Amino acid sequence: MRVGIIGLGLMGGSLGLSLKHIKFVSKVCGFDHNLSHCEEALKLGLVDDIVSFSEIKKCDMIFLAIPVEAIIDVLQNLIDIPKETTIVDLGSTKEKIIDSAPKDIRKNFIPAHPMTGTEKFGPSAAIEDLYHDSVVVLCNMDKSGDNHKNRAIQVFSHIGMKIVFMDAKEHDKHASFISHLPHALSYALANSVMGEEEPKSILLLAGGGFKDMSRIAKSSPLMWTDIFKQNRKNILSSIELFENELGKCKKIIEEEDWEELENWMGNATTLHKIL
C-alpha cells in the first residue's frame, strides 16, 4: 500500500516516521505547498519521496495533516480520486470538516483526530513516537465505507493508537474542553505575564508549574486561529464555564472563606482519580 501525506509538519512528519515501521506500507509519499518543508522532510527521512499533488492522489491512502481550514479546501480538490482511495484528515475539529466533505467522496473519507501533539511545528518537530499510546477519535464512521474504515483502523492500531468512536458534535464539544480551552488559557496566561512591566524578572522565578502551564502557548497561532474559528461556539461556552469556575475561586478568596477554598481545590484534585 502506498500512503500519501499532505502537510509535512509535526503531525504529518511524525506520521511518516511511524508508517515506515508498518509492513503493509510499501511507500510513503509526501506533499507540502512549502518547498523548504519538502526538502527538510526528505532530508530528515520523514517520507520516502516528495511528489506532486496529482501524484499524491494516486496513493491508496491519503492523510491530510494540515490546518483545519486548509483541510476543507483540499477536500474539494480530491473529488476525482478513485473509489478505492481512503482519505483521512487529522484535524482538531470535526463537524465543519465533515460537513464540507464532498458527497461523492464521503464514503472514502475517515474523519480522525489523534489526541497528541507538541507545542512545536514544522518538519523538524517530527518525532518517531508521537502517535504511540495516544487516543485517536474517529467520527461519524457510519457514513464511511467499510473498506476505508477497516484500512484506517488497521493503520492507526499499527502505529500504536487507541481507537475511540464518537459523534462529531460530541467530539467538538469534548475537544473544546480538553484541548481548545487549555490552549486559550495558556495563551492568556502568557499574555498576562507579558503585559506586566517586568516580564523578565517575573519569568526568572518560573518553575515547573508555570512552564507546564505556558508550554502550549508556544503553539502555532495560524493553526490555532483556524481551530478557534471552526469550533467557535463550543470554545465560547467552555471559556464561559471556565470563567464561572475561576470567578467562584475569586469570590471565595475575596470572602476569605478558607474552608470553602480547600473544598473547591479538593474537588479539583478528584479529576486525577479518573484521568
Interacting positions 138-177 with a second copy (CB under 8 A): 164, 170-171, 174-175, 177
Query: How far apart (Å, rounded) are the C-alpha atoms in residues 117 and 121?
Result: 9
Q: Is 21 in the site for a second copy (CB under 8 A)?
A: no
Q: Which of residues 175-194 bind a second copy (CB under 8 A)?
A: 175, 177-179, 181-194
The region, left, alpha or beta by phi > 0 then psi within -120 to 50, assigned to residue 74 is alpha
DSSP state of 129: T
Q: Is 96 in the site for a second copy (CB under 8 A)?
A: no
Q: Is 196 in the site for a second copy (CB under 8 A)?
A: yes
Single residue of 58, 106, 134, 143 touching a second copy by CB under 8 A: 134
Q: Is 228 in the site for a second copy (CB under 8 A)?
A: yes
Please, what is the minimum distance in Å from the beta carbon of residue 79 to a second copy? 27
- Closer residue to a second copy in complex, CB, 86/231: 231
Q: Is 33 in the site for a second copy (CB under 8 A)?
A: no
For 19, 39, 118, 151, 215, the CA distances from 157, given in Å and listed in that order, are 11, 29, 21, 10, 29
- Closer residue to a second copy in complex, CB, 82/195: 195
Q: Is 121 in the site for a second copy (CB under 8 A)?
A: no
Please, what is the minimum distance in Å from the beta carbon of residue 138 to a second copy? 12
Please, what is the minimum distance in Å from the beta carbon of residue 231 to a second copy? 10
Single residue of 93, 108, 116, 144 touching a second copy by CB under 8 A: 116
Which stretch in 26-34, 94-102, 144-152, 204-212 sits in contact with a second copy by CB under 8 A? 204-212
Question: What cell was used for 55?
Answer: 501524484
Cell 473509489 locates to 83
Q: Which of residues 235-274 bind a second copy (CB under 8 A)?
A: 235-236, 238-243, 245-250, 253-254, 256, 258, 261-272, 274
Single residue of 137, 142, 148, 158 touching a second copy by CB under 8 A: 137
Question: What cell was used for 139?
Answer: 467520527
- Closer residue to a second copy in complex, CB, 82/266: 266
Check: CB of residue 176 under 8 Å from CB of residue 235: yes
Q: Is 44 in the site for a second copy (CB under 8 A)?
A: no
Strand runs labelled E in the chain: 2-6, 27-31, 49-50, 61-64, 86-89, 109-114, 135-139, 162-166
- Closer residue to a second copy in complex, CB, 107/210: 210
Q: What is the 3-state secondary structure (H, E, C) of 45-79?
A: CCCCEECCHHHHCCCCEEEECCCHHHHHHHHHCCC
Question: What cell was used for 60?
Answer: 491508496
- Closer residue to a second copy in complex, CB, 58/187: 187
**What is the distance of C-alpha 59 from the center of its chain?**
23
Strands 61-64 and 86-89, by their bridges, are parallel
